Amino acid sequence: MTSLPSTTASAETQIPPLHTISVLVRNQPGVLVRVALVFARRGYNIESLVVSADPVSSVFSRMTITCSGDPDTLEQIIKQVAKLVDVVRAIDHTGQSVVETEIALIKIKAALHERTEILQVAEHYQAKVVDCTPKSLILRVTGASEKLDSLIALLRPYGVIELVRSGKVLMTRGPEIT
């Protein structure tokens, strides 16, 4: 089992804030690569990327990109992304009032004598058991990224076998279009 780096910032190490950007694009081959290249050229690492086609028209897709780094550089990246031919709009939602969610599947070692404790933790986080074998459980949990981080931290001592996260999706509150 490997441990993740601490998410708390010390006085010596300043962790840049996470930014969540939504990009509305034409649903064309190669658009994802062109958008990702803009980030790569500026040395930005994409933490998560979720892409889904518009189910109504299938003409457009929405990308939700989570990354961290210098806000001034990010502003330039967003301007460059917005200039790409197949991009309709690109918006940084950092600091905006949004509804966001993420989903995770967590496979845990679950000996019979530990299951009650694991299930109590899962219930507290409203996680659902989606698979159960004699030696493991798979939990599905949805919510804010911080909620998922907290649940995963509590489950690590039992032995996380496998973990899959969707990445953040969001929508702005109110009548504005995301």
Query: How high is the pLDDT of residue 95?
Result: 86
Query: SS3 helix, strand, coil % of the chain, rounded to 5?
Result: 30, 40, 35
Query: How high is the pLDDT of residue 49?
Result: 95
Query: How high is the pLDDT of residue 14?
Result: 65
Query: How high is the pLDDT of residue 86?
Result: 95
Answer yes or no: pTM beyond 0.85: no
Query: How high is the pLDDT of residue 178?
Result: 79
3-state secondary structure of 158: helix
Q: Which is it for strands 136-143 and 18-26: parallel, antiparallel or unpaired?
A: unpaired
Distance CA 48, CA 134 (A): 33
Residue with tokens 């040395």: 43
Question: 18-92 belongs to which CATH class?
Answer: alpha beta
| Whole-number average pLDDT of the chain | 90
What is the CB neighbour count within 10 angstroms for residue 18? 14
Residues 84-134 have pLDDT tens digits of 999 999 999 988 899 999 999 999 999 999 999 999 999 999 999 999 999
Domains 18-92 and 98-171 share a fold: yes
Nearest to 93 by CA among 112, 119, 73, 74: 74
Name the residue ranges covered by the structural domains of the chain.
Answer: 18-92, 98-171
What is the CB neighbour count within 10 angstroms for residue 144? 13
Residues 133-167 have pLDDT tens digits of 999 999 999 999 999 999 999 999 999 999 999 99
Q: Which fold has domain 98-171?
A: Alpha-Beta Plaits (3.30.70)
pLDDT value at 3 more than 80: no
Output the six-digit token pair for 6.
Answer: 């601490």
Most confident of 1-5, 14-18, 44-48, 156-160: 156-160
Give ∠ CA 173-147-137 in degrees, rounded to 5: 130
The dihedral over CA atoms of 34, 66, 164, 10, expressed in degrees to the nearest 10, equals 130
DSSP code for 156:
G
